Amino acid sequence: MSSKTKAIIKEWVQSIVIALILALTVRTFIVQAYKIPTGSMKPTLMPGDRILVNKLVYRLHPPERGDIVVFESTIEPRKDFIKRLVGKGNEDLDIVNGNIEINSEIITSPDIFSRIYYYRKGDFISGKDKVHIPPNYYFMLGDNSLHSNDSRFWGVIPEKNIKGKAFFIYWPISRIRVLNAKEND
């Protein structure tokens, strides 16, 4: 093999290694793609939607009410779920007549909360007056309340399990859009 051929091969190998390192770094620390497997977040996210999740944002500031969050399940370790963040640490949460109450006040912001009827069902919330969310924990609900297995069933999610914030649907083409809790999802 000539020295010119060896130099070309070496250059290609170096380029591929650098590209792999960059791709793994981006996927691990910055942005990751996910496919939505179920209808628990309808109408915001549909089964088969492909989304991008910002994994850096929560290193800069804490999650906010209304964010669509990807987190590691507490009941099925190594499995990621996606739900909407509804309650934060040191809050008392209840579901009354289809509305979410935080510290005995109905929440309507972001707007999505006033458009969804939330069902008060599930082992974690049934039979309790209110759910107290401990510090550094979050209460997550699916937008498709009747057909979502969420914090009402398996409890609160520790902050350490949160992986990132969903911010963009990139597939299918007809559904491409930015996800923003402050707007109508």
List active site positions.
Answer: 40, 83
> Could you tell me which residues come within 8 angstroms of residue 149 by beta carbon, excluding any fewer than 6 positions away?
40, 142
Rounded Cα distance between 74 and 144, Å, is 20
Angle at CA of residue 156, ends 35 and 50, nearest 5°? 10
Q: Are 69 and 85 in contact (CB under 8 A)?
A: yes
Q: Are 118 and 107 in contact (CB under 8 A)?
A: no
